[in-house]
A = this chain, B = another copy of it.
Amino acid sequence: MTNKLFIYNTLSRNKEQFEPANPPFVGLYACGPTVYGDAHLGHARQAVVFDVLYRYLSHLGYRVRYVRNITDVGHLEHDADEGEDKIIKKARLESVEPMEVVQRYLNRYHDNMRLLNLIPPSIEPMASGHIIEQQQLVEKILDAGYAYEKNGSVYFDVARYSESHPYGRLSGRKTEDLLANTRPLDGQSEKNNPLDFALWKKADPSHLMKWPSRWGEGYPGWHLECSVMSTKYLGIPLDIHGGGMDLLFPHHECEIAQNVAGFGEPAVRFWMHHNMITINSQKMGRSLGNFITLDEIFTGSHRLLEQAYAPMTIKFYILQAHYRSPLDFSNQALQASEKGLLRLLKAAAAIDSLPAGPESAFDVDELSHRCGEAMNDDLNTPILISHLFEGVKWINEIQESRASLVKEDLKKLKELYDTWLFSILGLQMISPGDSGKGITGELIELILQLRTEAKNRKDFEAADRIRAVLTDLGVVIMDRKQGTDWEFSKDA
């Protein structure tokens, strides 16, 4: 199989032609959520970006195994190994079993992902389900001499590792600079060096999530699970490892160090990182009051939101930016995106009813080719979308009888949208009352037709009554020159 897919590899800082290590199989690993709270816009971006990659690789004919982990234990606050495990903290506050908290948020995360129309990963391994494997890797790293045990905890020895390996290469940092910039160790820390990170952490007696080990009761350090679960399910080397740019350092840097120390090689061929999001140009954070969960955005229940935004609008907005560009969320931008998406979906839905003409004014094959070129250029979804909007112009011109396509080309145009808009970008028709069978839209069309007939026979009472009922149901109708148009109202 040959293709011209180029992917920007964070490791080389270049777009490199992608070929899997063992075609036709592709191993794809993406860092998933820590399930101690509701998913927010950052989780949506992560999941949407790698879903599109998964879909596109499958479209190219690869057999992709897509692994996205669930961090349910061991995620320490920031990089402070001294910090309390986030999940345990939440569990204590709520007086519930940690795994009950995990399950609740995992279910909610899955619900959100389903609304975004994402394909579930092939495997969603949980950190707590791989404690033995993590202990095994700690032992390997200890045996290799790149870690040390202290008081029941095991730490990775960054200084020792740096003597022979380029720690900081992925994130472009120099160990000397890192060392120079770290705060001096306070008396509490037992690490030899502030850059060292925990592989295994001794548990306090009050700690709820802990397991026995040869170092005593404890739990794995956060970076460890990804080294373990990515290689367990995808082998070494694995083709693509992705995540947000915020994970570049220290998470992915530590992962590489663990892989080299434990497996003798970095294990990952392509590192892909998507950029961060901002809200009204500000970093998102709970303390800043601009932390918006997906539930809030889908229901419009956050003070910064002027309305609810459909999952497809959020997804489309994410795809309108290249994954390596920053993305700013604002009401204005989302409303523009919503309009654009509706225009695109309406045009795609209209193809079926376009009349075939005697000749073709547009080159559908060429447009389709350009769609592929856009995706091959490091998943350039904004360019792909601009090509799809080019097609909208054509569709409108054909609707207005200002141009035509022959029957065969109309069929190809239909396929083009089916492939790129629906299969690869994974977008869906928006309609809150729609069961997926299109029944609601068709019923509304029937009602509008009956209303037009009422107006034609001057039965304005009936026409107004119909409008009133539809308005009650959240359907806004707009009488235009060409006929009556409708859409679901914002708060439907």
Taking CB as reference atom, which chain B residue is nearest A433? B439
Q: Is A131 an interface residue (CB 8 A)?
A: yes
Q: Which residues of B contact A121 (CB under 8 A)?
A: 103
Contact of A129 with B126 at beta-carbon distance under 8 Å, contacts A447-B447, A453-B462 already known? yes
Which residue of B has the minimal Cβ distance to A453?
B462
Q: A437-B433, A473-B442 are in contact. Are A103 and B122 (CB under 8 A)?
A: yes
A305 interface contact, C-beta 8 A: no
**Residue from B123, B124, B128, B462 in contact with A450 in the complex, judged by beta carbons closer than 8 Å:** B462
Q: Report the bound CA distance from A124 to B123 in whole Å.
A: 16
Q: Is A11 an interface residue (CB 8 A)?
A: no
- Taken together as a complex, chains A and B put the C-alpha atoms of A437 and B491 apart, in Å, by 13
Q: A residues 387-407 with Cβ under 8 Å of B? A: none
Q: Which residue of B lies closest to A122 (CB)?
A: B100
- Interchain nearest-CB distance for A32 vs B (Å): 13
With the chains together, A72 CA to B466 CA distance in Å?
Answer: 54
Indicate if A65 sits at the interface (CB-CB under 8 A): yes
Whether A103 lies near B123 (C-beta < 8 A) is yes
Check if A447 sits within 8 Å of B439, measured CB to CB: no
A 67-108 to B, binary, CB cutoff 8 A, 1 in contact else 0:
000000000000000000000000000000101100110010
A88, chain B: closest CB distance, angstroms: 15
Q: Does chain B have a CB within 8 A of A125?
A: yes
Assess whether A100 is in contact with B126, with CB atoms less than 8 Å apart. no
Nearest to A121 among chain B residues (CB) is: B103
Q: Are A447 and B443 in contact (CB under 8 A)?
A: yes
Across the interface, A100 reaches (CB within 8 A) one of B65, B211, B434, namely B65
- Residues of the B chain whose Cβ atoms lie less than 8 Å from the Cβ of A136: 212
Most buried by B among A122, A131, A136, A443: A443
Q: Which single member of B103, B435, B440, B453 contacts A124 (CB below 8 Å)? A: B103
Instruction: Write out the residue numbers on chain B whose beta carbons fall within 8 Å of the beta carbon of A132.
Output: 131-132, 211-212
Task: Give Cα A25 to B272, complex, Å.
Answer: 47
Provide the main secondary structure of the chain A interface: helix
A433 to B431, CA, bound (A): 12
Indicate how many identical chains form the complex.
Answer: 2
In whole angstroms, how far apart are the Cα atoms of A473 and B444 in the complex? 12
Within 8 Å of chain B (Cβ to Cβ): is A422?
no
A323 to chain B, nearest CB (A): 25
Q: Are B450 and A440 in contact (CB-based, < 8 A)?
A: no
A432 at the interface (CB under 8 A from B): yes
| Contact of A349 with B by CB under 8 A | no
Which among B122, B211, B437 is the interface contact of A432 at CB below 8 angstroms?
Answer: B437
| Docked complex Cα distance between A102 and B107 (Å) | 17
Tell me if A120 counts as interface (CB < 8 A to partner B).
yes
Q: Which of A210-248 contact B (CB under 8 A)?
A: 211-212, 233
What does the 1/0 interface line of A444-462 toward B look like (CB < 8 Å)? 1011001001000000001
Q: Are B129 and A100 in contact (CB under 8 A)?
A: no
Give chain B residues whose Cβ lies under 8 Å from the Cβ of A123.
97, 99-100, 103
**Residue in contact with A129 in the complex, picked from B120, B128, B212, CB distance below 8 Å:** B128
Contacts of A340 in B (CB 8 A): none
Docked Cα-Cα span, A35 to B238, in Å, equals 27
Interface residues of A (CB under 8 A from B): 65, 97, 99-100, 103-104, 107, 110, 120-126, 128-129, 131-132, 136, 211-212, 233, 432-435, 437, 439-440, 442-444, 446-447, 450, 453, 462, 466, 469-470, 473-474
- A-B contacts, 14 of them at CB < 8 A, read A97-B233, A99-B123, A103-B122, A103-B123, A107-B120, A128-B129, A129-B129, A131-B131, A132-B212, A432-B439, A433-B435, A434-B435, A446-B447, A446-B469
